[in-house]
Amino acid sequence: MTDDIRSQLGLREIINVSGTMTSLGASIVVPEAIEAMRAILPQFVEINDLQRKASAVIARLTGAEAGFVTASCSAGISLAVAGTITGANLLAIEKLPETTNEKAEIIVQMGHIVSYGAPVDQSIRLAGGKVVMIGQATSTHRYHMEEAIGEKTAAAVYVVSHHVVNYGLLHLTEFVEIAHAHGVPVIVDAASEYDLRGFLAAGANIVLYSGHKFLGGPTSGIVAGKKELVRRAFLQNLGIGRGMKVGKESIYGVMAALDAWEKRDHDAIRAREKAALALWHDVLGGRPGVTALIEPDPTGNPLDRLRVILDSQATHITAWDLAAALRKGTPPIIVRDHEVEHHYFYLDPCNLHPGQAESVARRLAEELDKAQASNAIIATPIEDLSRNRFNGLLRWPD
């Protein structure tokens, strides 16, 4: 019998070349975090004291004055926003998301209102914030932000993600400059970012990180920043934060993951990733209709991905149909296909177990060979992707 727990549970043994996606389990949890969780699970602790210990570790790694662990980065957005609205008023905290405080407007660039599995603006509205979108989807100028800030502005939220529009918007340094000139704190959603220090160094007041993506910790979010603002966010655990709580194992697991991050051999990890990219690039090279490009991460993380571009007339299969074939095959390969209507998808090597890069290469070759041998072009109408995207979820758990 296989020792893969997925097989025992009747789950597919997928290979993840999509990235640190929550829907796939985010990342491979580092051994240090697993051991820390195992050690603390049988014990009782005073959670607020454990969070104080976590605060010290978070501060050391990020340069923040304080920090704490919550359920997710999404939860961190809500808690941080709520803190700017309620302050330390315990009654106001209990009443959220209803608020009598008119100072509840939250500035966000329109090009940053994206979905990471749920809409960014919903995390703000859950906290009682009133979203004020500035600019247009592809352009924000200084005057958009300067004119939007007023007496009712509680905070400004800046999103760092591959999902956002990556041109024509205000850069973080300018965003911070304008906000601080008006006495408005800046909250940065940096869920999937390697850089644990740069955003606070650039002037952000609170930065939110995922504990379970590149850090390799348990499912969690990290809130880091100025002590008073972090304290106000932490107090939300008496209100909306109750449903976003984490257990002792998640707090201690994140502490261990942060400690391990300091000692991680990042160069060796990059070398393994580059070897996988080179293998896939070689396998795809010379195939008719296939262009394979190694590209850097769009938000500046120190990693590359392989963009696989298909000319369906030559390959006899569309990018979305190839992605589907890989997903349905054995073993199932899940690619990064959020831009697949542009005739390409990405292969992300950051979550591979030993031997899986070779499995991906073999499956790519198999599916492309099969398509090439087909007389007809395999081309499902692109509209069907949108039409049927949520069918399975709407039938869940059936």
Classify residue 193 by burial, with Cβ atoms within 10 Å: 0-12, 13-18, 19+.
buried
Count the residues in the chain.
398
Going across the sheet that includes 130-134, the strands are 66-70, 221-225, 206-210, 186-189, 153-159, 105-109, 130-134
Reply yes or no on whether the pLDDT at 123 is more than 90: yes
Task: Give pLDDT, residue 217.
Answer: 93
- Tell me how far apart the alpha carbons of residues 226 and 205 are, in angstroms, rounded to a whole number: 6
Going by pLDDT thresholds of 50, 70 and 90, the confidence category of residue 2 is: low
SS3 sequence of 121-147: HHHHHHCCCEEEEECECCECCHHHHHH
pLDDT tens for 97-116 read 999 899 999 999 999 999 88
Minimum mean pLDDT range among 17-26, 34-43, 57-66, 299-308: 17-26
Per-position b or e across 271-297, b if 16+ CB within 10 A of its CB: eebeebbebbbebbeebebbebeeeeb
Sequence ranges of the domains in the chain: 5-22+266-390, 31-263
pLDDT tens for 184-205 read 999 999 988 889 999 999 999 9
pLDDT tens for 346-364 read 999 999 999 999 999 999 9
Per the CB < 8 A criterion, the answer to whether 314 and 307 are in contact is no
Question: Of 307, 305, 326, nearest to 368 (Cα)?
Answer: 326
pLDDT tens for 226-284 read 999 999 999 999 999 999 999 999 999 999 999 999 899 999 999 999 999 999 999 99
Token pair, residue 34, equals: 């697993």
The architecture in CATH of the region 31-263 reads 3-Layer(aba) Sandwich (3.40)
Q: What is the CATH number of domain 5-22+266-390?
A: 3.90.1150.180
Reply yes or no on whether the pLDDT at 137 is more than 70: yes
Reply yes or no on whether the pLDDT at 1 is more than 50: no
Which carries the bigger pLDDT value, residue 379 or residue 157?
157
| Residues 276-282: contacts with CB under 8 Å, at least 24 apart | 276/349, 276/352, 276/357, 276/360, 277/304, 277/305, 277/306, 277/347, 277/349, 279/357, 279/358, 279/361, 280/306, 280/347, 280/357, 280/360, 280/361, 280/364, 281/306
The model's pTM is 0.91
